[in-house]
Amino acid sequence: MSQRQGTSPFGPEDRVGAANFVTEREVLRAFSLVKEGRIVDLSLPIGVDSPRIPGINSPFVISMWSHPLVSQRVHYERGTRNGVAFADERIEFDAHTGTHIDALGHTSANGAMYNGVPVADTVHNHGLTDLDASRIPPLLTRGVLLDTVAVKGRFLEAGEPVEAEDLEQASRLVPGGVQAGDIVLVRTGWARHYGSDNLRYAVTAPGISESASTWLADQKVAAVAGDTMSIEVTPFQDPTNSDPVHLNLLVRRGVYMIEQCNLEPAEIRGREFLCCCLAPLFSGATGSPLRLVAVL
């Protein structure tokens, strides 16, 4: 029998985890923060030049399914004489490419996912039957940047952990600090390697420690976003404890993880803002590409 992991405080049928903390009150509060109407894009591009972890992430492949010249001929043969034509493509890629959000079913331990959902009954050849990306609710809530670069006065280095005390210190730079229902964005400066040194970006990184992830979950945040491949400090602090942040946030606490973000825009530093996280409903997928934006 699978070991029960991450029993939800919201009941045995809960499938949305920490998104439960985003109530109508939090949504209204977040919209009240919009003063200028400016949109700041916090996303990184998804394409053939996106970083991927060798041997884990499949490559991004795009090919033309329907070329305009072929399409024009097909339409002509159907009687069309106005020269209209269309281009359509086929795209194949790992759902964890570029800026994306992890579904709660992305990670498991001892045969169980969040809230004790068993892997054996859930993972099939055509994807997940539960806790998949179609279960990720729209998140329109307060966003805050925890700027560890500002705290340390420099970009963080590969393998450098961000501890709970670093996050607490960074939270004091934002009016109101961290609150329930927030999307918390942790800046390390690692996004500067995205697309320029992909191997370095993918296989090493600064990131939050397990204890830091516990601190975030204890604040009842809805999601944690980072500017690295996986938010985790890499290499792991304890080689016998692989991916402890994924295990802690996704499996035990039901907190969503938003990875590979662009957290360099200066406009979001030292302020609270409306953060919009709208994931396409990819049925069966373990994650979903994302256009993450701040509205000021």
Residues 76 and 182 occupy one common structural domain: no
- Structural domain containing residue 78: 61-92
Domain boundary among 69, 92, 115: 92
pLDDT lower than 70: segments of the chain: 1-6
Residue 59's closest CA among 72, 74, 49?
49
Question: Rounded distance, CA 153 to CA 169, Å?
Answer: 13
Could you tell me the two tokens for 261?
């973000």
Residues 78 and 182 in one domain: no
Measuring CA to CA, how many Å separate 266 from each of 149, 150, 155, 186, 187? 12, 11, 15, 14, 11
Same domain? For 23 and 139 the reply is yes
pLDDT at 273: 98
For residue 11, is it within any domain? no
Nearest to 18 by CA among 184, 278, 254: 254
Residues 116 and 189 in one domain: yes
Q: What is the pLDDT of residue 7?
A: 79
Tell me the C-alpha to C-alpha distance, in Å, between residue 275 and each of 33, 68, 144, 241.
10, 38, 8, 32
* Residue 9 maps to a domain: no
Cβ of 224: how many Cβ atoms within 10 Å?
26
Residue 12 lies in a domain: no
- Residue 1: its pLDDT value, please? 29
pTM of the entire structure? 0.95
Distance between CA atoms of residues 102 and 125, nearest Å? 19
**C-alpha–C-alpha distance, residues 98 and 202, integer Å:** 11
Please check whether residues 24 and 68 belong to one and the same domain. Answer: no
Q: What CATH number does residue 107 fall under?
A: 3.50.30.50
CA 207 to chain centre: 14
* pLDDT computed for residue 53 by the predictor: 94
Radius of gyration of the chain (CA): 20
Do 44 and 78 fall into the same domain?
no
Amino acid at 168: E
Residue 5 lies in a domain: no
Residue 167 lies in a domain: yes
Tokens of 159: 């393998």
Residues 249 and 111 occupy one common structural domain: yes
Same domain, 213 and 224: yes
- Could you tell me the two tokens for 132? 């998949």
Angle at 42 between CA 246 and CA 178, to 5 degrees: 60
| Count of domains forming the chain | 2
The pLDDT of residue 162 is 98
152 with 178, same domain: the answer is yes
User: Bridge partners of 90?
Assistant: 63
Last residue of one domain, picked from the residues 92, 111, 142: 92
| 70 and 197 housed in the same domain | no
Spatial CA neighbour of 136 closest among 295, 287, 21, 293: 287
Q: Are residues 26 and 130 in the same domain?
A: yes
Q: Other CB atoms closer than 10 Å to residue 103's CB: what's the count?
A: 29
234 in any annotated domain: yes
pLDDT value for 261:
98
CA distance 112 to 98: 27
On whether residue 110 sits in a domain, the answer given is: yes
Residue 152 lies in a domain: yes
- Distances from the Cα of 183 to the Cαs of 128, 130, 222, 256, in angstroms? 25, 23, 6, 9
85/33 same-domain check = no
State the chain's maximal CA–CA distance in angstroms.
Answer: 70
